[in-house]
Chains A and B, each alone.
Chain A
Amino acid sequence: MYLDDADIYPDMDPRLQQALDRRGRGLRTVATASSSADEIGVVALVEDVDAWTARSDVRPGAVVGEVDRAWLVTARVPLTRLERVRRADGVRSLKPAQPLHPVLQATVPEIEADPPALPAGTLAAGGAGVLVGFVDSGADFAHRNLIRPDGSTRLVALWHQDGPSTQDSPFGYGKRYSARDIDLALSQPDPYAALGYGPAPDSPTRRGSHGTHVVDIATGNGKGSGVPGVAPAADIAFVDPAVSDIVWEGVDVVGSSFGDSVQLLEALRFLFDEAGDTPCVVNISLGTNGGPHDGSSLVEKGIDALVAERPGRAVVIAASNSFDDGIHAAGTVPAGGSVDLRWVLPESISAQGELEVWYAGTDRFRAELITPGGQSLGSVALGANGRVRADDGTTLLFVSHRRADPNNGDNVLGVFVEDRLPAGTWTIRLHGEQVADGGYHAWIERNDASQSSFAEPHDGSHTLGSISCGRLSLVVGSYDAHKPGKPLSFFSSAGPTRDGRQKPEISAPGHAVLAAHSRTGTGVTQKSGTSMAAPAVTGVVALVLAEAAARGVVLDAGTLRRIVTESGRSDPPTGTGGWDDRYGSGRVDAADALRAVQKLDGG
């Protein structure tokens, strides 16, 4: 046994250091009524309350009082930001605290979607006549917010892709439940057992299913919680590709996935087929970090094709939560020279680490790998592969250097490392053997238990998810609606795409959002993320589609996109009419979007 150095800021309360150490080892804190599993309640002594509350990584609680010419405050802070918050100017002390009371939900009034804010003469009717689809985990069909006043379900269809297959299974797999199936289950004492499907129960690290929360933000009718979502009269369809929410907890999360891209396309095909001629918007909060980020993947082309298939369709995707993770790097390799990519593998890395480098097909780089100890393992030329094997023959490290990707003609370098490899800072040295362009972008794949990163300083640009760079999808960033300045969520990923297109399109409240808590019937729980922002926009799109349908206005994908983006509000983002790489074209505005439809109708 020996003492190991921990790379944790030492001038911090030991209990906070322990929390960071536990997180680094793949352990998670316990979710409470006011804190998610990824954040911790703190008591802080700060010199400037306004500066403290303005930070996007601080969810303020209470100002307790003045102490020694500073202010004692309570808050919740994401574990990933603890060290930065502790080091911030004006923060004299930071101690772990008891959980705090949650802030109030503010999504609907903030985005001008509450009925008093909507324009006179609106025919949106809460999204009535529109089908809102979701691809997500855990739909609680028994939550009162998803049930009509007469007791019947608002879900017109539910496809559990991992459910028992039948002769009628969509595309040959899973189980489709009809509204009638769900209504029958709702009449039973245990509706989940009766249907054979339900959201996972709460656990020490997760309160409420993701899918139920998301559905409620976009379409909940408030009959249970008392607070309706954005489009409370819309119909709902849901596809659940997950085995279970449970696999998303603890160290077992590493290497697991939430379906795959083919299942996603089939989910979309299913939802749009269910809609038929009915206007339909689908909400997605899936993705990874890797990929070409230029819209050329076939899954992105597939999403574009389905949206373009007929008017009155949209797909809304969460931007991703990777801005602060240090997972992107970019630069230029000079002809005859080299550039070092410094990849930091944590001591606690579990499962594989993956990194991709994309560069122009007109260039030819050579990739040299150097261990944390400075040993060069050799170089991989364009078109070659490299491999390091353990004594037992298994692969410890694999490098693929592919020429001319079939979809965009660019070259791509992939590096895969096993968790048995030495931790520390690895170097991928890119040598410019033939350079016409020289530019490159690199991404590190997601690993929830022990995320590796590039060495600081980090470049948070180009951190949109792997399926969020298509041409017709609407991609949504997140800000904090509870603070006067509406600051960006520290995690909200940034654009543009690798080919320079302006995404995300729009932003919405995604910070500390209270919405339906699965398996409670009427309760709510709090979650944060761009996947809490995306359904707010999905709800707005449902209102727009309903308004258009009621007026006989045909909205193709381009027109719908212009309505959403041109009605975005500024300040923030700074200025007017511009595009911001995280807010997009501004903060979504339901009322102005509906006015735009009315104008198309001559209003």
Chain B
Amino acid sequence: MAEEPDGPDRRTLPPMDIEDPARGSYRKVRGRPGRDPVDPDEPLAVVIEVAEPGYRPAGVDVRAVLSETLFTATVAAADLAGLDRDPRVVAVELGGRLDQID
């Protein structure tokens, strides 16, 4: 009798490693979890919301102004921590994938 192959659902996986929740977590940055940039110099396209009209945080390269408190920008990955700490920054959203709706 031929040996029955292991079905894919028979495979045993190692248990999950649970990671320190405090490490590297941003309060104000919304992106795709698990897709965090690893290169601190990596330029990121983001949308930034600020609390004060006209405020532009240092280090961000503003691209398009959407309103007095909302704009698109390019930032270095290493600058996300500073934006996260900036009390005048409300939220930062990393550019997210969009698919064509047929």
Known: A321-B101, A387-B17, A465-B101. A406 touches B91 (CB 8 A): yes
Within 8 A of B (CB), among A567-595: none
A395 to B, closest residue via Cβ: B34
The answer, yes or no, to whether A259 is at the interface (CB within 8 Å) is yes
Cβ distance B11 to chain A, nearest Cβ, rounded Å: 5
Cβ distance B49 to chain A, nearest Cβ, rounded Å: 6
Known: A299-B93, A302-B70, A384-B21. A406 touches B100 (CB 8 A): no
Which residues of the other chain, A, contact B19 by a CB distance below 8 angstroms?
384-387
Bound-state CA distance A258–B97 (Å) is 7
Cβ distance A386 to chain B, nearest Cβ, rounded Å: 4
Bound-state CA distance A309–B18 (Å) is 46
Contact in complex: B18, A385 (CB < 8 Å): yes
The answer, yes or no, to whether A286 is at the interface (CB within 8 Å) is yes
Contact in complex: A260, B97 (CB < 8 Å): yes
Bound-state CA distance A383–B19 (Å) is 10
Which residues of the other chain, B, contact A260 by a CB distance below 8 angstroms?
45, 95-98
Bound-state CA distance A381–B18 (Å) is 9
Contact in complex: A287, B101 (CB < 8 Å): yes
Contact in complex: B27, A301 (CB < 8 Å): no
Cβ distance A138 to chain B, nearest Cβ, rounded Å: 10
Which residues of the other chain, B, contact A171 by a CB distance below 8 angstroms?
63-64, 72
The answer, yes or no, to whether A264 is at the interface (CB within 8 Å) is yes
Contact in complex: B16, A286 (CB < 8 Å): no
Which residues of the other chain, B, contact A416 by a CB distance below 8 angstroms?
33-34
Contact in complex: B17, A386 (CB < 8 Å): yes
Contact in complex: B45, A406 (CB < 8 Å): no
Cβ distance A353 to chain B, nearest Cβ, rounded Å: 12
Contact in complex: A347, B101 (CB < 8 Å): no
Q: Give which listed residue, B5, B14, B98, contacts A467 with CB less than 8 A.
A: B98
Q: How many residues of A contact B (CB 8 A)?
A: 81
The answer, yes or no, to whether B102 is at the interface (CB within 8 Å) is yes
Q: Give which listed residue, A137, A257, A321, A397, contacts B97 with CB less than 8 A.
A: A257
The answer, yes or no, to whether A167 is at the interface (CB within 8 Å) is no
Residue from A265, A369, A388 having most chain B Cβ neighbours under 10 A: A265
Contact in complex: A210, B30 (CB < 8 Å): no
Bound-state CA distance A383–B92 (Å) is 19
The answer, yes or no, to whether B87 is at the interface (CB within 8 Å) is no
Bound-state CA distance A132–B5 (Å) is 58
Bound-state CA distance A399–B96 (Å) is 18
Contact in complex: B9, A371 (CB < 8 Å): yes
Q: Give which listed residue, A396, A398, A530, contacts B33 with CB less than 8 A.
A: A398
Contact in complex: B8, A265 (CB < 8 Å): no
Contact in complex: A404, B100 (CB < 8 Å): no
* Binary contact readout B72-102 vs A (1 if CB under 8 angstroms, 0 otherwise): 1000000000000000001111011111111
Which residues of the other chain, B, contact A291 by a CB distance below 8 angstroms?
96
A405 to B, closest residue via Cβ: B30
18 cross-chain CB contacts under 8 A: A171-B72, A248-B100, A257-B97, A258-B98, A260-B45, A261-B47, A262-B95, A269-B65, A288-B97, A302-B66, A305-B66, A305-B70, A320-B101, A373-B12, A381-B18, A406-B27, A422-B8, A448-B99
Additional 11 contacts, C-beta under 8 A, given A286-B101, A396-B13: A257-B97, A260-B96, A261-B98, A262-B46, A287-B98, A305-B66, A381-B18, A385-B33, A388-B15, A406-B90, A407-B91
Q: Which residues of B contact A (CB under 8 A)?
A: 2, 4-5, 8-21, 25, 27-30, 32-34, 45-49, 63-67, 70, 72, 90-93, 95-102
